[in-house]
Structure 1
Amino acid sequence: MSRVSKRRKLDKTQQDRLYFDSYTDVTIHEEMLADHVRTNAYRTAILRNSESLRDKVVLDVGAGTGVLSIFCVQAGARKVYAVEACSIAEQAVKIIKQNNMEDKIKVIRGTVETVDLPETVEVIVSEWMGYALLHESMLNSVLYARDRWLKPGGIILPSKAELHIAPMIEPVAEDRLHFWCTMKDAYGVDMSSMSDFARGCIMNSDIVVNAVNVEDVLSHPARFAELDLHSVTAEELRSVKGHFRCLSFGSSSVNAFCVYFTVTFPCPDKPLVLSTSPFKPETHWKQAILYLDAPVEVVQDTEVTGEVNMYPSEESSRHVCIHVEYTVGGHRRQSKTFSIPDWRSDPEP
């Protein structure tokens, strides 16, 4: 007999094991490296900072295959400590040797919170961002490395992150809901009563990660949070929140919000921005889609306002929850909490 399973709250050791195990497979590294927007942004930002990296000591937090460490040596770094917790570190050693950089890059297996470096560093580089910026991100580890190993006046690449939100119409969901109304014409069976059930299944509380078409975004995005990596604290990451205000472009139906992020690299000439906006070339992060319980009609310049709060899930501190309170035009204020489904944790026995 089947029974409803309850997701088990994982202790930190289990959370970390699941997280790092996901990086032992080649697929995720292939996906990240094949993301030209991501990889080229890091390479360009590192090379543009060659004056700041020349003859300096660098810490690469979550080095993976070691590509960012190699970029740093190409930019003139004297020494790079590539810290990596999962077994992909063994492949990083091979790649670094293949590129004749084993005298300048030292791969250290372990988490940055547990390893011991022989010296402090002048630069920290890390690709720590997750879906919706904070889902399964390594930002807490970067902050630990900053406080433990970075010299005063040192640089962090990237140094700033911003979160943005915009109302949108998600047409696939609308098409799926309309499907039940087509059954009578197609087969002579009225199944329109399924619409409410289907809406509850489709417009649920899951954070859906998918690419958003620009024509489906219904206003200019609004920035609701900014993180300065030189000053933000781990405690502040327990609640990243902010207000937003958008004005709709024209007549449409809002059935979701789109959330995305940017990160900024300091550069001598001008900052370099890596954006996951739907208005920019697609990245492997895509965008986070948050479905409303019911669509709301808007016209030109309808005001959409609210507040977003992002915080760690109770089940796993690495997983993000997004709580949105919003008002569309003259409608009453609504609220909804979203999370990314976790299929990796076992149900409670």
Structure 2
Amino acid sequence: MPNSRPRPRRGARSGAGAAGRDELVSRSLRSAEHCLSAQDFGTAYAHYLLVLSLAPELKDDVKETFQYTLFRWAEELDALSRTQDLLGCYEQALELFPDDEVICNSMGEHLFRMGFRDEAAGYFHKAVKLNPDFNDAKENFYRVANWLVERWHFIMLNDTKRNTIYNAAIQNAVCLGSKSVLDIGAGTGILSMFAKKAGAHSVYACELSKTMYELACDVVAANKMEAGIKLLHMKSFDIEIPKHIPERVSLVVTETVDAGLFGEGIVESLIHAWEHLLLQPKTRGENGNCEKYGKVIPASAVIFGMAVECAEIRRHHRVGTKDVAGICLPANVKFQSPACSSVDTEETVEPYTTEKMSRVPGGYLALTECFEIMTVDFNNLQELKSLATKKPDKIGIPVVKEGILDAVVVWFVLQLDDERSLSTSPSEETCWEQAIYPVHDLADYWIKPGDHVMMEVSCQDCYLRIQNISVFGSECEVDAGKNFTKDKDLLSLGSEAELCSALANLQTSKPDAVEQTCILESTEIALLNNNLYHEGFKMAMRKVLSSLAPEKLCQAMDTHCQNNEMSCGSTENVSEESIPEPFYVLDVSEGFSILPIIAGTLGQVKPYSSVEKDQHRITLDLISEANHFPKETLEFWLRHVEDESAVLQRPKSDKLWSIIILDVIEPSGLIQQEIMEKAAISSSFDIYPEVQLLSPVVIWSQVLQLPWCYGKSWY
């Protein structure tokens, strides 16, 4: 803590008023120091605010101590979840020290942790501008930029074909008379600059992301076009005439399309643009200057699809094993990826994932020919409005090759104008990936020529949705998610083939068994499918426990686990005299993990899981029950945490953790900083000094030498 007491400096004023002020400042400074020594940071902060409001000439003298007080008080407010008070303190501090890079950087760090990444980027950027040599701020700015500047911006800007065709289409439209242009979702501003370079008189560009807006300002300025392009930091929905732009424009250019075409809101933004920002469209037979009517680039799109077999997609979206390192996954637990979840879920999530199919590991096999899903005319307002209310279309596609039905792959052809188009097909070298709709809940995924893949397609909640995928064969039909659970359903079936189909869909779990659908990220499903990963952890944990346990107990545990595969979490065959206090194992891996259950099969172990989602806890409880764990063998750490400072201290015991499991390596190879911090804040256990980082895991408090064959990517 800084330890200096500045003396109030007398200004030109004199008399009783100045003396009284100086006395109040001196008392407040003494009170602030007393509060700091007592670690009463909130009161100390209030005293410093009073001092600086009364004696701004002391700013340089108390700056360092004020910063320290602010940061410590902010930590307490953050721990108490007093977000508004925390932000209010920083706003007060920045009013007093508007050019303090350290305070700006700290404000950004708090905002970033709260999820306000755009705002955090602004403060980091300001800190770097104030002090280009401030390494902490530079590192923070680059980190948040990795979050906010999506990687596809770089790929898109490097897509020469895409840029050339967009440039040609915009140039053609401007040459034909579209002299006023609005760029919706400007990004870096490249389409706006195409329009200005083509000769447009008025160019407006709107961008919601503050980071991208500031980047676009820099890019436009670097190209000396800031005088000719008006950049707006807002949604197109919020643009008003004449408040933001003087009149309706004759051309809207946009590339607010994702792999599924509609996912970035192009339909909604264009409906609003046609109703409020664009000149009316050209009517049939109308001639004259193009400036008199409005149009959109791109003009239209055609969406295509294809059913495929792909092992890489399968392992990320379907759990294909019933046994993971000796742990049985029960039939009453159903795992799904977010892309497979229902449209009726509380949160609206993308109903698809994306892949670059031309580069997908292991390749893919086309099981059908490509087929047309739907078309959309972006220059037809009524058609755009009808998309969201239109009933789903039913499509049936003949199978041309036999194989495992894993997904429907979707792409589109973007028609920019009458002459120019862009395709996102897997066969094209393009910046876009393809949308992947994983297939799930079929009784049999094997299809063959003569079968038909049936599906329903629609545009709901701003997304292209492909639902109710089923297979119609020459003998019977198998519907995704269809279950016959009542006798009257069986009696209503006519043919023997239909009866077989119904029986294949019968639930195999007990009538009174609790059923649980567990939504996992695709990387979590891939990890669950990776038996090598879990066997590696099991071997490593066994090695640590063997080094910690008495030899006799280790032998007893090994014998017990071999003779009781279905109940190896128990130690009933070991005499009470030989059983010491159990070994405590904590798993702080991010997301869903069955590693604590695996640890529980290794003998006298009390495993703790740090999963946060209720559905994950219920699922782990069901898996524990199916593997005959004694009730409450598996504990959930966060249920015991009342004080955040106590994280990683084992509850109600002065004993320490035997093993802490950290799987901190992301699929990209980056270390998850939050998980490292989660472990580092503990002061309640000793860490062996020889800790080594072996991809993909670190296990503290013992050094585990995983064989290098386990060091490959798990995802």
**TMscore range, shorter length:** 0.7 to 0.9
* 3-state secondary structure, aligned to 1:71: helix
Letter in 1 for 2:427: F
> Shift of the alpha carbon at 1:174?
5.1
The answer to whether structure 1 residue 100 and structure 2 residue 224 are counterparts is: yes
Kindly indicate whether the alpha-carbon contact (under 8 Å) linking 2:456 and 2:466 is maintained by their aligned counterparts in 1. Answer: no
Overall identity of the aligned pairs, in %: 21
User: Does residue 210 of the first structure (1) align with residue 358 of the second (2)?
Assistant: no
Amino acid paired to 2:436: A
Using the alignment, how far apart are the partners of 2:205 and 2:422 within structure 1? 22
Tell me the CA shift for residue 39 of structure 1: 3.5
CA shift digits 1:192-237 (9 cap, x unpaired): x659799845795462211224852222222122111122456434
Match of 1:3 in 2: none
Kindly indicate whether residue 412 of structure 2 is the aligned counterpart of residue 261 of structure 1: yes
Change (3 A) 1:253 1:61: same
Alignment-mate amino acid for residue 304 of structure 2? H
More divergent stretch after superposition (64-73 vs 96-105): 96-105
SS of aligned partner of 2:396? strand
* Alpha-carbon offset, residue 283 of structure 1: 2.9
* DSSP 3-state at the match of 1:121: coil
Q: CA-to-partner distance for each residue in 1:62-107, whole Å, 9 max, x for gaps?
A: 1121100011122222221112222122222222122122232111
1:128 deviates by 1.2
- Which protein has the larger Cα radius of gyration, Structure 1 or Structure 2? 2
SS at match of 1:30: helix
- The 2-side partners of 1:321 and 1:307 are apart by 8
Residues matched between the structures, number: 312
Instruction: Call closer, same or farther: CA 1:237–1:218 in 2, change over 3 Å.
Output: same
Aligned pairs for 1:1-349 (under 5 A) are 25-28=148-151, 29-36=153-160, 38-52=162-176, 56-87=179-210, 88-116=212-240, 117-152=245-280, 153=282, 154-173=294-313, 180=321, 200-201=335-336, 204-205=340-341, 207-213=352-358, 215-233=364-382, 235-239=385-389, 241-267=392-418, 270=419, 272-294=420-442, 295-312=444-461, 322-330=466-474, 331-332=476-477, 334-335=479-480
Shift of 1:49: 3.7
Distance apart, 1:158 and its partner CA: 0.2
TM-score (norm. length: structure 1): 0.74
Q: Give me the whole-angstrom Cα distance separating, in 2, the residues matched to 1:221 and 1:18.
A: 42
Higher strand share: 1
> Does the CA contact (< 8 Å) of 2:441 and 2:480 recur in 1?
no
Contact map agreement 2:455 2:467 (CA 8 A) in 1: no
The AA in structure 1 aligned to 2:471 is T
Q: Is the 8 A contact 1:311 1:322 kept in 2?
A: no
Q: Is the 8 A contact 2:301 2:375 kept in 1?
A: yes
Per-residue CA shift, 1:240-297, capped at 9, x if unaligned?
Answer: 6433232222222222212222321114xx2x22222223224333322322324533
Distance in structure 2 (CA, Å) of the matches to 1:219 and 1:247? 6
| Residue aligning to 1:13 | none
Instruction: Give distance in 2, aligned partners of 1:288 and 1:86.
Output: 27
CA distance in 2, matches of 1:239, 1:341: 30
What amino acid maps onto 1:327 in structure 2?
A: V
In 2, the alpha carbon distance for the partners of 1:292 and 1:159 equals 35
2:112 paired residue number: none
CA pair 148-180 structure 1, distance change in 2 beyond 3 A: closer
Question: Matched residues in 1 for 2:116 and 2:355: separation?
Answer: 23
1:289-343 deviation digits (Å, cap 9, x = unpaired): 322324533333533233223311xxxxx6665423433323425246xx9979x
- In structure 2, the CA distance between the partners of 1:179 and 1:146, relative to structure 1 (3 Å rule), is closer
Judged with a 3 Å threshold, the aligned counterparts in structure 2 of structure 1 residues 280 and 53 are, in CA distance, closer, same or farther, namely farther
80-89 vs 240-249, greater mean Cα deviation: 240-249
Report SS of the residue matched to 1:150: coil
216-225 or 239-248: bigger deviation: 239-248
Note if contact 1:57-1:123 (Cα within 8 Å) is conserved in structure 2. yes
CA distance 1:287–1:145, shift in 2 (3 Å) = same
More off after superposition, 277-286 vs 197-206: 197-206
Normalising by structure 2, we get a TM-score of 0.39
Change (3 A) 1:160 1:178: closer
Which blocks of at least 5 consecutive residues in structure 1 are unaligned? 1-16, 184-188, 313-317
SS in 2 for 1:151: coil
Question: Helix, strand or coil for the counterpart of 1:167?
Answer: strand
Return the letter of the residue paired with 1:80: V
Tell me, in whole angstroms, the C-alpha distance in 1 between the residues paired with 2:217 and 2:263.
28
Q: Distance in 2 between matches of 1:93 and 1:308?
A: 40
Bigger proportion of residues as helix: 2
Find the residue that maps to 2:237 and give its secondary structure. Answer: coil
Instruction: Provide the rounded CA distance (Å) in 1 between the counterparts of 2:613 and 2:378.
Output: 36
Pair 217,38 (structure 1): closer, same or farther in 2 beyond 3 Å: farther
The 2-side partners of 1:144 and 1:259 are apart by: 27
What is aligned with 1:10? none
Amino acid in the other structure paired with 1:67: I
User: Whole-Å Cα distance in 1 between the matches of residues 405 and 386 of structure 2?
Assistant: 31
SS in 2 for 1:243: strand
Could you tell me which amino acid in structure 1 is paired with residue 479 of structure 2? Answer: Q
| 1:174 to 1:115, Cα distance in 2 relative to 1, 3 A | closer
Matched AA of 2:435: Q
SS in 1 for 2:357: coil
Distance 1:347 1:171 in 2: 29
Identify unmatched segments of 5+ residues in structure 2.
1-114, 120-143, 283-293, 342-350, 482-518, 523-611, 615-715
Checking the alignment, whether the CA contact within 8 Å between 1:124 and 1:157 is kept in structure 2 is yes
CA RMSD, Structure 1 to Structure 2 (Å): 3.9
- Any idea what SS the aligned residue of 2:410 has? strand
Structure 1 residues 306 and 285: alpha-carbon distance in aligned structure 2, compared to 1, 3 A threshold? same
